[in-house]
Amino acid sequence: MNLIIHPDAATAANAVAAMMAQALAAQPRLVLGLATGGTVEPVYARLVERHRQHNLDFSRCRTFNLDEYVGLPAQHRNSYRHFMNERLFLQVNLELANTHLPDGLAPDLSAECVRYERQITAAGGIDLQLLGIGQNGHIGFNEPGAELDSRTHVQTLSATTRAQNSRLFAAPDQMPAQAITMGLGTIRDCRQCLLLATGREKAGIIRQTLTSAPTPAIPATVLHEHPDCTVILDTAAASQLEGLQLPGVALLTNLRK
Ligand code: GLP
């Protein structure tokens, strides 16, 4: 696992956008794995800028999002389809038919999970997966306890996640209790992973993730088993790493001033 620490959140997000843009320019048919959440919003803003100012071309790119709430229609302002359409898909020259999220309204959710896995496989697998991290260590919506080799599945959301995300809903009780998420095994199969975490509220879980061996108790620790994973932080998210031994973690650049 590689680690890069940037001086602030904006620089970290810009660096992630640059890595994604470079991969897309090198491989126009890139299969991108995408994430939602406040942390990655500035990444999408930078990618939209690169499309508008430097003609970054998404026309042949395929995308697969990590997760979607169960029970929310696509047009619901809190659905991840809505988030992605607004922040990225409708702002660049992506073909909407090439953008994929699990269907949280599918009548048979188990069948939908199988279908989503097959779609990823049929696309040749995910080349580059963008990840955020929840305060309990979830990636996608793989909550503590999720099996490290799990595939796309229906996940009941934990109390921590409900508390963290319900503030984004008009009424907190509108937040669904379940989501469909790529599994930890699905994420581990992606050819490259970039995990972005910024802000002091992520410092504790980043310390735990980077110092722990892979364990279902901290889902993000599965990334230690990944052959090409880079964790990109700002100094606030890295603030509990000072002086720690981080076995298996290579500090690539330390831009701290
Ligand atoms: C949601 C998503 C996760 C994301 C997390 C972090 O729970 N399912 O994929 O990592 O939010 O959100 P934020 O970046 O807003 O802290």
Written as tens digits, the pLDDT of the chain (257 aa) is 999 999 999 999 999 999 999 999 999 999 999 999 999 999 999 999 999 999 999 999 999 999 999 999 999 999 999 999 999 999 999 999 999 999 999 999 999 999 999 999 999 999 999 999 999 999 999 999 999 999 999 999 999 999 989 999 999 889 999 999 999 999 999 999 999 999 999 999 999 999 999 999 999 999 999 999 999 999 999 999 999 989 899 998 755 44
The pLDDT assigned to 252 comes to 87
Cα–Cα distance, 82 to 97 (Å, whole number)? 15
Residue with the smallest CA separation from ligand 1 atom 13 is 37
CA–centroid distance, residue 132 to ligand 1 (Å): 6
Pocket test of ligand 1: the residue of 16, 36, 167, 205 to mutate, having most ligand atoms within 8 Å of its CB, is 36
Its pTM stands at 0.97
Shortest-distance atom of ligand 1 to CA 133: 10
Cα–Cα distance, 17 to 81 (Å, whole number)? 20
Cα–Cα distance, 185 to 46 (Å, whole number)? 29
Kindly state if the Cβ of 28 falls inside 6 Å of ligand 1: no
Q: Contact at 8 Å (CB) between 234 and 199?
A: yes
Residue with the smallest CA separation from ligand 1 atom 11 is 37
The pLDDT assigned to 257 comes to 44
Shortest-distance atom of ligand 1 to CA 39: 14
Q: Known catalytic residues?
A: 67, 136, 138, 143
Shortest-distance atom of ligand 1 to CA 131: 10
CA–centroid distance, residue 37 to ligand 1 (Å): 4
Tally helices (H) and strands (E) across the chain: 7, 11
Task: Output the six-digit token pair for 134.
Answer: 């929840």
Shortest-distance atom of ligand 1 to CA 202: 16
Pocket test of ligand 1: the residue of 34, 39, 72 to mutate, having most ligand atoms within 8 Å of its CB, is 39
CA–centroid distance, residue 184 to ligand 1 (Å): 15
Cα–Cα distance, 142 to 203 (Å, whole number)? 19
Identify the DSSP state of 34. Answer: E
Contacts of 88-91 spanning 24+ positions with Cβ under 8 A? 88/34, 88/44, 88/47, 88/48, 89/63, 91/44, 91/48, 91/51
CA–centroid distance, residue 36 to ligand 1 (Å): 6
Kindly state if the Cβ of 132 falls inside 6 Å of ligand 1: yes
Residue with the smallest CA separation from ligand 1 atom 12 is 37
